[in-house]
Amino acid sequence: MDFLRITDITPAQLREILAIAAKLKAGLAKGSAPPLLDKKTLLMLFEKNSTRTRVSFETGMAQLGGHAIYLDSTRSQISRGETLYDTGAVLGGMADFIMARLYKHADLEELAKGALVPVINGLTDEEHPCQTLADLLTIQEKWGTLKGRKLAFVGDCDNNVAHSLMIGCAMMGMDVSLLGPKGAKPKDKYIEKAKSFKTSITFSSDPAMALAGADAVYTDTWVSMGDEKEAAARLKLFSPYQVDSKLMAYAKPGAIFMHDLPAHRGEEVSAEVMDGPQSVIYQQAHNRLHAQKGLLVWLLKSSR
Ligand code: CP
Ligand code: NVA
Protein backbone atom coordinates (compact mmCIF):
# COMPACT_ATOMS: atom_id res chain seq x y z
CA MET A 1 0.00 0.00 0.00
CA ASP A 2 1.63 3.23 -1.17
CA PHE A 3 0.51 6.84 -0.79
CA LEU A 4 1.82 8.39 -3.99
CA ARG A 5 -1.36 10.18 -4.98
CA ILE A 6 -4.30 11.36 -2.93
CA THR A 7 -6.43 8.92 -4.92
CA ASP A 8 -4.38 5.95 -3.72
CA ILE A 9 -6.86 5.97 -0.83
CA THR A 10 -10.66 6.02 -0.88
CA PRO A 11 -12.77 8.79 0.65
CA ALA A 12 -13.59 6.42 3.54
CA GLN A 13 -9.88 5.74 4.12
CA LEU A 14 -9.14 9.46 3.97
CA ARG A 15 -11.76 10.05 6.67
CA GLU A 16 -10.19 7.26 8.74
CA ILE A 17 -6.71 8.84 8.50
CA LEU A 18 -8.09 12.24 9.51
CA ALA A 19 -9.88 10.65 12.47
CA ILE A 20 -6.68 8.92 13.67
CA ALA A 21 -4.78 12.20 13.22
CA ALA A 22 -7.35 14.17 15.24
CA LYS A 23 -7.31 11.55 18.00
CA LEU A 24 -3.51 11.49 18.22
CA LYS A 25 -3.43 15.30 18.25
CA ALA A 26 -5.99 15.52 21.06
CA GLY A 27 -4.13 12.82 23.01
CA LEU A 28 -0.79 14.56 22.62
CA ALA A 29 -2.28 17.80 23.94
CA LYS A 30 -3.13 15.85 27.12
CA GLY A 31 0.37 14.36 27.30
CA SER A 32 -0.41 10.96 25.81
CA ALA A 33 1.95 9.63 23.11
CA PRO A 34 1.36 5.88 22.62
CA PRO A 35 4.34 4.14 20.94
CA LEU A 36 2.26 2.86 18.02
CA LEU A 37 5.35 2.65 15.78
CA ASP A 38 7.68 1.11 18.34
CA LYS A 39 10.98 0.04 16.65
CA LYS A 40 9.69 1.09 13.23
CA THR A 41 11.91 3.10 10.90
CA LEU A 42 11.02 5.67 8.26
CA LEU A 43 13.58 6.38 5.56
CA MET A 44 13.21 9.94 4.24
CA LEU A 45 14.78 10.55 0.82
CA PHE A 46 15.06 14.15 -0.40
CA GLU A 47 16.04 15.51 -3.80
CA LYS A 48 14.57 18.94 -3.00
CA ASN A 49 14.67 21.33 -0.05
CA SER A 50 12.24 21.01 2.84
CA THR A 51 11.53 22.45 6.27
CA ARG A 52 8.05 21.23 7.27
CA THR A 53 7.99 17.84 5.57
CA ARG A 54 11.28 16.72 7.01
CA VAL A 55 10.70 17.99 10.53
CA SER A 56 7.09 16.85 10.79
CA PHE A 57 7.89 13.30 9.67
CA GLU A 58 10.96 13.05 11.88
CA THR A 59 9.16 14.43 14.93
CA GLY A 60 6.14 12.28 14.23
CA MET A 61 8.23 9.11 14.15
CA ALA A 62 9.91 10.07 17.43
CA GLN A 63 6.55 10.74 19.11
CA LEU A 64 5.26 7.36 17.94
CA GLY A 65 8.26 5.53 19.36
CA GLY A 66 9.96 4.95 16.01
CA HIS A 67 12.95 6.38 14.22
CA ALA A 68 13.47 8.44 11.06
CA ILE A 69 16.55 8.55 8.83
CA TYR A 70 17.25 11.53 6.58
CA LEU A 71 18.94 10.74 3.27
CA ASP A 72 19.94 13.57 0.94
CA SER A 73 19.90 12.12 -2.58
CA THR A 74 23.02 14.09 -3.57
CA ARG A 75 24.95 12.34 -0.78
CA SER A 76 23.50 8.92 -1.62
CA GLN A 77 24.51 6.51 -4.36
CA ILE A 78 21.56 7.72 -6.45
CA SER A 79 23.67 10.68 -7.51
CA ARG A 80 26.31 8.20 -8.71
CA GLY A 81 23.84 6.34 -10.86
CA GLU A 82 22.18 3.71 -8.63
CA THR A 83 18.65 3.29 -9.95
CA LEU A 84 15.61 4.30 -7.97
CA TYR A 85 14.26 0.76 -8.35
CA ASP A 86 17.39 -0.71 -6.74
CA THR A 87 17.38 2.00 -4.10
CA GLY A 88 13.78 1.18 -3.21
CA ALA A 89 14.49 -2.56 -3.14
CA VAL A 90 17.39 -2.06 -0.74
CA LEU A 91 15.82 0.55 1.54
CA GLY A 92 12.58 -1.42 1.75
CA GLY A 93 14.48 -4.34 3.25
CA MET A 94 15.68 -2.16 6.13
CA ALA A 95 13.09 0.53 6.77
CA ASP A 96 9.38 -0.05 7.46
CA PHE A 97 8.29 2.99 5.43
CA ILE A 98 9.90 5.19 2.80
CA MET A 99 8.96 8.83 2.28
CA ALA A 100 10.48 10.56 -0.73
CA ARG A 101 10.47 14.09 -2.10
CA LEU A 102 11.55 13.85 -5.73
CA TYR A 103 11.37 16.03 -8.81
CA LYS A 104 9.67 13.56 -11.12
CA HIS A 105 6.58 11.63 -10.14
CA ALA A 106 7.68 8.80 -12.45
CA ASP A 107 10.85 8.45 -10.36
CA LEU A 108 8.76 8.05 -7.23
CA GLU A 109 6.76 5.32 -8.97
CA GLU A 110 10.02 3.60 -9.88
CA LEU A 111 11.23 3.76 -6.28
CA ALA A 112 7.88 2.37 -5.09
CA LYS A 113 8.06 -0.46 -7.61
CA GLY A 114 11.32 -1.62 -6.08
CA ALA A 115 10.25 -1.22 -2.45
CA LEU A 116 8.11 -3.80 -0.73
CA VAL A 117 7.15 -1.41 2.10
CA PRO A 118 4.72 1.54 1.94
CA VAL A 119 6.12 4.49 0.00
CA ILE A 120 4.81 7.98 0.79
CA ASN A 121 4.93 10.95 -1.57
CA GLY A 122 6.63 13.85 0.24
CA LEU A 123 6.05 16.01 -2.89
CA THR A 124 6.72 15.52 -6.58
CA ASP A 125 6.09 17.72 -9.60
CA GLU A 126 2.58 16.23 -9.77
CA GLU A 127 1.21 15.85 -6.25
CA HIS A 128 1.68 16.75 -2.58
CA PRO A 129 -0.86 14.47 -0.87
CA CYS A 130 0.59 14.75 2.66
CA GLN A 131 -0.04 18.49 2.49
CA THR A 132 -3.66 17.77 1.58
CA LEU A 133 -4.11 15.63 4.70
CA ALA A 134 -2.97 18.53 6.91
CA ASP A 135 -5.09 21.00 4.95
CA LEU A 136 -8.25 18.94 5.36
CA LEU A 137 -7.55 18.43 9.05
CA THR A 138 -7.22 22.20 9.43
CA ILE A 139 -10.46 22.97 7.60
CA GLN A 140 -12.24 20.31 9.65
CA GLU A 141 -10.93 21.84 12.88
CA LYS A 142 -12.11 25.27 11.80
CA TRP A 143 -15.53 24.40 10.39
CA GLY A 144 -16.36 21.09 12.07
CA THR A 145 -17.29 19.43 8.80
CA LEU A 146 -15.87 19.26 5.31
CA LYS A 147 -18.91 18.17 3.30
CA GLY A 148 -20.66 21.09 1.60
CA ARG A 149 -17.85 23.57 2.28
CA LYS A 150 -16.17 25.49 -0.52
CA LEU A 151 -12.46 26.06 -1.04
CA ALA A 152 -11.10 28.62 -3.51
CA PHE A 153 -7.56 28.02 -4.76
CA VAL A 154 -5.89 31.13 -6.18
CA GLY A 155 -2.85 31.47 -8.46
CA ASP A 156 -0.93 28.52 -9.93
CA CYS A 157 -3.81 26.06 -10.07
CA ASP A 158 -1.79 23.51 -12.03
CA ASN A 159 0.85 22.74 -9.43
CA ASN A 160 1.41 19.77 -7.13
CA VAL A 161 -0.34 21.31 -4.12
CA ALA A 162 -3.38 22.37 -6.15
CA HIS A 163 -3.75 18.94 -7.80
CA SER A 164 -3.85 16.92 -4.58
CA LEU A 165 -5.88 19.51 -2.69
CA MET A 166 -8.55 19.91 -5.37
CA ILE A 167 -9.08 16.16 -5.55
CA GLY A 168 -8.84 15.67 -1.76
CA CYS A 169 -11.50 18.35 -1.17
CA ALA A 170 -13.78 16.75 -3.74
CA MET A 171 -13.29 13.34 -2.07
CA MET A 172 -14.59 14.92 1.14
CA GLY A 173 -17.66 16.40 -0.56
CA MET A 174 -16.31 19.93 -0.88
CA ASP A 175 -16.75 22.30 -3.81
CA VAL A 176 -13.58 23.76 -5.30
CA SER A 177 -13.20 26.88 -7.39
CA LEU A 178 -9.89 27.66 -8.99
CA LEU A 179 -8.91 31.22 -9.79
CA GLY A 180 -5.97 32.09 -12.02
CA PRO A 181 -4.84 33.15 -15.49
CA LYS A 182 -5.96 30.96 -18.39
CA GLY A 183 -2.63 29.11 -18.66
CA ALA A 184 -2.86 27.98 -15.02
CA LYS A 185 -5.85 25.68 -15.41
CA PRO A 186 -5.08 22.19 -14.08
CA LYS A 187 -4.55 19.49 -16.68
CA ASP A 188 -7.75 17.69 -17.66
CA LYS A 189 -6.77 14.46 -15.89
CA TYR A 190 -6.84 16.25 -12.50
CA ILE A 191 -10.07 18.14 -13.23
CA GLU A 192 -11.76 14.95 -14.39
CA LYS A 193 -10.56 13.03 -11.34
CA ALA A 194 -11.86 15.76 -9.02
CA LYS A 195 -15.19 15.90 -10.86
CA SER A 196 -15.62 12.13 -10.49
CA PHE A 197 -16.49 12.76 -6.83
CA LYS A 198 -19.56 14.72 -7.97
CA THR A 199 -18.97 18.08 -6.33
CA SER A 200 -18.63 21.41 -8.11
CA ILE A 201 -15.17 21.99 -9.63
CA THR A 202 -14.77 25.23 -11.57
CA PHE A 203 -11.94 27.29 -13.04
CA SER A 204 -12.18 31.00 -13.80
CA SER A 205 -10.20 34.21 -13.98
CA ASP A 206 -12.93 36.24 -12.26
CA PRO A 207 -12.27 36.80 -8.52
CA ALA A 208 -15.86 37.74 -7.63
CA MET A 209 -17.21 34.58 -9.18
CA ALA A 210 -14.48 32.25 -7.90
CA LEU A 211 -14.47 33.44 -4.31
CA ALA A 212 -18.24 33.87 -3.79
CA GLY A 213 -19.31 31.71 -0.85
CA ALA A 214 -15.77 30.37 -0.19
CA ASP A 215 -15.12 29.09 3.33
CA ALA A 216 -11.37 28.87 2.68
CA VAL A 217 -9.07 30.78 0.35
CA TYR A 218 -5.82 29.00 -0.46
CA THR A 219 -2.73 29.99 -2.37
CA ASP A 220 0.77 28.63 -3.03
CA THR A 221 4.00 29.95 -4.49
CA TRP A 222 4.01 31.09 -8.11
CA VAL A 223 7.42 29.48 -8.63
CA SER A 224 7.54 25.87 -7.47
CA MET A 225 10.79 23.99 -6.94
CA GLY A 226 12.00 23.06 -10.40
CA ASP A 227 10.28 26.06 -12.06
CA GLU A 228 13.05 28.53 -11.22
CA LYS A 229 14.03 29.11 -14.85
CA GLU A 230 10.55 30.46 -15.56
CA ALA A 231 10.49 32.67 -12.46
CA ALA A 232 10.33 36.07 -14.19
CA ALA A 233 7.55 35.03 -16.58
CA ARG A 234 5.58 33.39 -13.77
CA LEU A 235 5.76 36.40 -11.46
CA LYS A 236 4.37 38.51 -14.28
CA LEU A 237 1.64 36.04 -15.24
CA PHE A 238 0.33 35.59 -11.70
CA SER A 239 0.79 39.13 -10.36
CA PRO A 240 -2.93 40.06 -10.78
CA TYR A 241 -3.83 37.14 -8.49
CA GLN A 242 -2.19 38.12 -5.21
CA VAL A 243 -4.37 37.21 -2.22
CA ASP A 244 -4.76 40.57 -0.49
CA SER A 245 -7.54 41.95 1.69
CA LYS A 246 -9.45 43.17 -1.36
CA LEU A 247 -9.50 39.63 -2.76
CA MET A 248 -10.35 38.07 0.63
CA ALA A 249 -13.39 40.38 0.80
CA TYR A 250 -15.00 38.41 -2.06
CA ALA A 251 -15.07 35.25 0.12
CA LYS A 252 -17.49 34.53 2.99
CA PRO A 253 -16.97 36.82 5.96
CA GLY A 254 -14.80 34.80 8.35
CA ALA A 255 -13.34 32.63 5.56
CA ILE A 256 -9.95 31.25 6.48
CA PHE A 257 -6.76 32.01 4.59
CA MET A 258 -4.52 28.99 3.90
CA HIS A 259 -1.04 28.45 2.45
CA ASP A 260 1.09 25.31 2.47
CA LEU A 261 4.25 27.46 3.02
CA PRO A 262 6.91 28.59 2.40
CA ALA A 263 5.17 31.83 1.36
CA HIS A 264 6.52 34.86 -0.43
CA ARG A 265 5.05 37.91 1.25
CA GLY A 266 4.15 40.53 -1.33
CA GLU A 267 3.95 37.97 -4.16
CA GLU A 268 1.17 35.37 -3.95
CA VAL A 269 -0.09 36.81 -0.64
CA SER A 270 0.09 40.20 1.05
CA ALA A 271 1.73 40.38 4.47
CA GLU A 272 -1.53 41.82 5.77
CA VAL A 273 -3.50 38.68 4.90
CA MET A 274 -0.74 36.28 5.99
CA ASP A 275 -0.53 37.89 9.42
CA GLY A 276 -4.22 38.84 9.63
CA PRO A 277 -7.02 37.34 11.74
CA GLN A 278 -8.31 35.05 8.98
CA SER A 279 -4.95 33.33 8.48
CA VAL A 280 -4.56 29.75 9.77
CA ILE A 281 -1.17 29.14 8.15
CA TYR A 282 0.76 28.12 11.24
CA GLN A 283 -1.99 25.83 12.54
CA GLN A 284 -1.98 24.30 9.06
CA ALA A 285 1.80 23.82 9.12
CA HIS A 286 1.65 22.27 12.60
CA ASN A 287 -1.04 19.90 11.37
CA ARG A 288 1.51 18.35 9.01
CA LEU A 289 2.83 16.57 12.10
CA HIS A 290 -0.53 15.26 13.26
CA ALA A 291 -1.87 14.36 9.82
CA GLN A 292 1.24 12.37 8.90
CA LYS A 293 1.21 10.54 12.22
CA GLY A 294 -2.34 9.53 11.31
CA LEU A 295 -1.12 8.39 7.89
CA LEU A 296 1.80 6.34 9.25
CA VAL A 297 -0.33 4.60 11.86
CA TRP A 298 -3.02 3.89 9.26
CA LEU A 299 -0.49 2.59 6.71
CA LEU A 300 0.99 0.19 9.21
CA LYS A 301 -2.45 -1.13 10.11
CA SER A 302 -3.47 -1.38 6.43
CA SER A 303 -0.28 -3.05 5.23
CA ARG A 304 -0.47 -5.95 7.65
N1 CP B 1 4.64 22.70 2.75
C2 CP B 1 5.79 21.99 2.66
O3 CP B 1 5.83 20.89 2.12
O4 CP B 1 6.86 22.57 3.26
P5 CP B 1 8.39 22.13 3.12
O6 CP B 1 8.79 22.37 1.69
O7 CP B 1 9.12 23.03 4.07
O8 CP B 1 8.54 20.69 3.48
N1 NVA C 1 4.36 24.06 -5.03
C2 NVA C 1 5.48 24.17 -4.12
C3 NVA C 1 5.16 23.54 -2.81
C4 NVA C 1 6.24 23.65 -1.78
C5 NVA C 1 5.90 22.97 -0.50
C6 NVA C 1 6.71 23.54 -4.75
O7 NVA C 1 6.59 22.48 -5.38
O8 NVA C 1 7.79 24.11 -4.61
54 Cβ inside 6 Å of ligand 2: no
Q: Which atom of ligand 2 is nearest to the CA of 131?
A: 5
Q: Could you tell me if 210 and 277 lie in one domain?
A: yes
pLDDT tens, 96-127? 999 999 999 999 999 999 999 999 999 999 99
**Residue 260: CB within 6 Å of ligand 2?**
yes
CB 17 within 8 A of CB 133: yes
Give the distance between the most distant pair of CA atoms in the chain.
54
Q: Identify whether residues 12 and 122 lie together within a single domain.
A: yes
* 60 and 203 part of one domain: no
103 shares its domain with 148: no
Q: Which atom of ligand 1 is nearest to the CA of 48?
A: 6
Exposure on the CB side of residue 165, measured as CA atoms within 13 A: 32
Residue 221: CB within 6 Å of ligand 2?
Answer: yes
pLDDT at 88: 98
Residue 181 lies in a domain: yes
Does 168 map to a domain?
A: yes
279 and 135 share one domain: yes
* Edge-to-edge order in the sheet of strand 150-154: 201-204, 175-179, 150-154, 216-219, 256-259
Query: Is position 27 within any domain?
Result: yes
Residue 104: inside a domain, yes or no? yes
Task: Write out the residue range of the structural domain in which residue 168 sits.
Answer: 131-284
DSSP, collapsed to helix, strand or coil, labels residue 289 as helix
φ, ψ at 168 (rounded to 5°): -60, -40
Task: Note whether residue 1 is domain-resident.
Answer: no
Half-sphere exposure of 90 (CA within 13 A, CB side): 10
Q: How many CB atoms lie within 10 A of CB 83?
A: 14
- Is there a single domain that holds both residue 158 and residue 268? yes
pTM for the whole structure: 0.98
* DSSP state, residue 195: H
The reply to whether 66 and 147 lie within a common domain is: no
176 is a domain residue:
yes
Do 235 and 263 belong together in one domain? Answer: yes
Mutate to test the pocket of ligand 1, among 138, 261, 280, 283 (most ligand atoms within 8 A of CB): 261
| Ligand 1 contact, 261 CB (< 6 A) | yes
User: From ligand 1's centre to the CA of 51, what distance in Å?
Assistant: 5
Phi/psi of residue 206, each to 5°? Answer: -110, 110
- Together in a domain, 40 and 140: no
Both 45 and 100 in one domain: the answer is yes
Give the whole-angstrom CA distance, residue 146 versus residue 142.
10
In a domain, 234, yes or no: yes
Please give the pLDDT value at position 199. Answer: 98
Is 135 part of a structural domain of the chain?
A: yes
Q: Is 27 helix (H, G, I), strand (E, B) or coil?
A: helix
List of long-range contacts for 12-15, beta carbons under 8 Å, 24+ apart: 13/298, 13/302, 14/133, 14/136, 14/168, 14/171, 14/172, 15/172
> What is the total residue count of the chain?
304
Residue 39's alpha-carbon distances to 90, 131, 261, in angstroms, are 19, 26, 31
pLDDT one digit per residue (tens) for the chain, 304 residues: 999 999 999 999 999 999 999 999 999 999 999 999 999 999 999 999 999 999 999 999 999 999 999 999 999 999 999 999 999 999 999 999 999 999 999 999 999 999 999 999 999 999 999 999 999 999 999 999 999 999 999 999 999 999 999 999 999 999 999 999 999 999 999 999 999 999 999 999 999 999 999 999 999 999 999 999 999 999 999 999 999 999 999 999 999 999 999 999 999 999 999 999 999 999 999 999 999 999 999 999 998 7
Cα(211)–Cα(217) distance, rounded to whole angstroms? 8
Same domain, 138 and 184: yes
Specify the pLDDT at position 303: 84
161 lines ligand 2 (CB under 6 A): yes
- Total number of domains in the chain: 2
Q: What share of the chain is helix, strand, coil (3-state, %, to 5)?
A: 50, 15, 35
Residue type (1 letter), 189: K
CA 155 to ligand 2 centroid distance, Å = 13
Same domain for 199 and 87, yes or no, is: no
Tell me the CATH number at 142: 3.40.50.1370
